[in-house]
Each structure stands twice: as C-alpha cells, then as structure tokens.
Amino acid sequence: MEMNGQVVARNGLTDRTGRKVALITGITGQDGSYLAEFLLEKGYDVHGIIRRSSSFNTGRIQHLYDDPYTHQGGSMRLHYGDMTDSSCLVKIIHDIRPTEIYNLAAQSHVKVSFDLSEYTANVDALGTLRILDAIRTAGLEPTVRFYQASTSELYGKVQQIPQTETTPFYPRSPYGVAKLYGYWIVVNYREAYNIFAVNGILFNHESPRRGETFVTRKITRSVAKISLNEMDHFELGNLDARRDWGHARDYVEAMWLMLQQDVPQDYVISTGEAHSVR
C-alpha cells in the first residue's frame, strides 16, 4: 500500500524504487563506517552527515568511494552538516526523507567531556533533540524509524550487576549526563508523538577502526611502535578495570535489527562477559 506517496514495507518504508533510505550521523566514525557497509550490502541508499574540515576526515569510509558501483551509482551520498545546526538537519531530513535514521554522532570521549562539557551537551543532548524535531518538521513521524546510540556510561556508579534495561541510571561524567538527556528525549518523543524511536545502550565495542585515543588502540599502536624501536614504553591506567568488550560489526547489526522490530523498544547491547585490560 502507499502512505504519504511512498511504498510501505512491513518493517519500515521504501522509496519508489523499492529501496530503503538510511541517514547516518557520525558516518565517518567506527560504528558509522561499519553500519554504512552493512546497509549498502543490504541494498539501502545510504546518506551520511559529515562536518566540514580543512583536512580529510573520511578515511574510514574512503574504501566505499573507491568502489565505482557505490559512489558513481549513487547508493551512498554525503552531506555537510552539524549536530549543533538545526536548520541544516531540517533541510537534510526534509530533502532525503529517510526511512531509517541512525544517530551515531557524538563527542564520545568521557575524559574530554569534563573539559568540553557545554559542547558535549550541545552535540550529544541537544543534537538528539534537533533530529527528533527535524523528523516532526518534515512530517515523518508515521514513517521513519529512529535509532539513538546510547551508552553504558548511563549506569556510571553501578547500582546492580549485571546491568539491564531496567537498571537505574547514575551517570558520572558530562558525557554520561548528556547521553542521559538523549535517552529520555527519545523515550518522550516515542510516547508523545508515536515516533518509532529506540535507544541502544551500547557497551564497549572495538575494531581496527576504533579511535586512537581509546585504550585498545592505544595499546596496539604503542606495541607496534615498540616493535619498530620508535618508543620504549607506554603508560596505562588501571589494568584491573573490567569491561564488556564486543566487536563493532556485531553491534551495528544489532542497531539495524532494533529498527526491524514490530514494536519500538530500548535494548542493552553487550556480550554479557567482562574482561580486564590486563
């Protein structure tokens, strides 16, 4: 059947060509790049939002542009935008009219959030609100499906082990607090405006594309430099700290699966196993 001029599929909408259209914020990051690959393989038209930069910042998705079918065929397109600019978000969403939106953009470094607390709130908290409002401005409430990348940092001061979808939140950083606002505004818009909007509470997930300031990449880069005699040692924090680590490829598939359900629900995404840094 048709709704608002689009062909309706059971799990979400497709455009007139029968293809689903996905918009990814944070497409140049670890998760965004894997998600773009995943969706392209499933036949989606993929759109990504990138920030204007004086240096190249698309290294993680460059291989997708090296594929003539992907780039010249037009199944992936990038748009300049920023999570702090509501006007550009409204325009992009109105023009693309996506069937699925994955909000992965964030200032995601916990330590940095103490130095850039206002910026972190502007991007991680209000950025989520701006996208949800853009969905309403474009009149996409009945058709779009929205995924919000949330974080295990919501739990902060742990209240119970293991953490579940019903564990009380107790964030202990500006990053965690900003993400908590994002979490609850998604729940609020889902209930108030009947938007298919979900939160994925992500525990640590790694890959070769992980940012180099994060502990797993710091270790691998430092070991490589030591083997090349470029450094003789490196320092880490608490080696006995235990974390739940998964692989980013598995986590982006979970994001997609959340948007294919009949009923929108929030989920914890983790392996269920903890390992120490040591």
Catalogue the active-site residues.
151, 153, 175
Contacts of 224 (CB under 8 A, 6+ apart): none
Instruction: Single out the residue of 79, 171, 52 nearest to residue 117, CA to CA.
Output: 171
Count the Cβ atoms, other than its own, within 10 Å of residue 8: 14
Q: Whole-angstrom Cα distance, residue 10 to residue 253?
A: 19
Q: Whole-angstrom Cα distance, residue 65 to residue 62?
A: 5
Count the Cβ atoms, other than its own, within 10 Å of residue 163: 19
Q: Whole-angstrom Cα distance, residue 107 to residue 105?
A: 7
Q: Whole-angstrom Cα distance, residue 221 to residue 189?
A: 42
Burial (Cβ within 10 Å: 0-12, 13-18, ≥19) of residue 137: middle
Question: Pairing between strand 196-202 and 267-269?
Answer: parallel
Give the Å distances, CA to CA, from 99 to 14, 19, 41, 89. Answer: 7, 9, 17, 15
Residue 168: DSSP 8-state: P
Question: What are the residue ranges of helices labelled H in 12-109?
Answer: 30-41, 62-65, 68-72, 86-96
